[in-house]
Amino acid sequence: MQPHKPGRKETVAVAVSGGVDSMVTALLLKQQGHPVLALHMILRPEDPPEPSQQIREITALLAVPLHIVDLRQAFQKQVIEPFVDAYRKGKTPNPCVICNPRIKFSLLREKAAELGANNLATGHYARIFYDSSNGYFRLFRGRDRAKDQSYFLYGLNQVQLARTFFPLGEHLKSEVKQLAAEAGMGGYYRPESQEICFISQSDYRDFLEHHLGPDLPGPGPVLDLEDRQIGKHEGIHRYTIGQRRGIGIPASAPYYVVGLEPDSNIVRVGSKGDLHRKELLVKSVNWITTSPPSPNFEALVQVRSRHKEAPAVVDTGEEEIVVNFLEPQEAITPGQSAVFYRNEEVLGGGIIERVIA
């Protein structure tokens, strides 16, 4: 296998956000002799259709042309609306795993092609290799495991990977900051982006209540695992699996949210030990090389972006996958993604539909 890099002198579009990672991505490509275009996405409905002065200053410093891509309508329909709907159904979604294949590496790359750049680079900490033995592009974790973002990229297909580049994949975050400082850009970039990019002023609960309003089910019972009501909740959208704070039920030992039951508007609680489960159902699966390694295989499976991957047996089917961990895992959450790894390589992943056992 060989690292996937743009061809000599190929024009590359870089998705710029104003952060150090996208800045250094553009810098590295320019140093390698590639013509570079900067693309800045407008995504949130409330955002003005113009970039910030900071982004203008950054791209001017890098001497790259800046193009603004207004994707607010598509982002609203394909990312925000499914995000809100998932919470309404008692799930906890991760919007980045939807945005990447549908918006950033699809619609944004199409815009790049219109501007004469068939290639798109981003500041993700991940790596792509080309396997000449079978013609597949393969996705791997970034060298910096503390910043690795491969979890969010499992939804990319072969066409997208073929025209995508991650120049930071072989770099540590500390090295990226040093490169920015050496280039005189240390004072320009903004702080690390927040976890959910389209929720700025308030927390996600306020955001959901604003968007759902009367569609929210409202207050309901809090039950323990023996079906005893021990309290009331303020709406299941305010809770997630594994949550301890904010339940508001006095007890000698803390309660944890162990289940959300939207059909009956129940928040189910238990002890910390009750959070540990072994088996789950996964749907909407994407395989990086178009198919699973085999109908039944062993893999390391990661069920949240900050979860330590763990060994499991993966049974594949036509529309859904059953994952059985060798050891119970804590707070497996419907709506999050299960991503399958072989050592450092991403095999694929999908959305956790429900916990089986």
Radius of gyration for the chain, computed over Cα atoms and rounded to the nearest angstrom? 22
Q: Which entry of 197, 230, 313, 322 is annotated as an active-site residue?
A: 197
Q: Does residue 197 have an active-site annotation? A: yes
Q: Does residue 99 have an active-site annotation? A: yes
Q: Which entry of 26, 97, 99, 108 is annotated as an active-site residue?
A: 99
Widest CA span in the chain = 68
CA dist 277 and 356 (Å) reads 8
Would you name the residues annotated as active-site residues? 99, 197
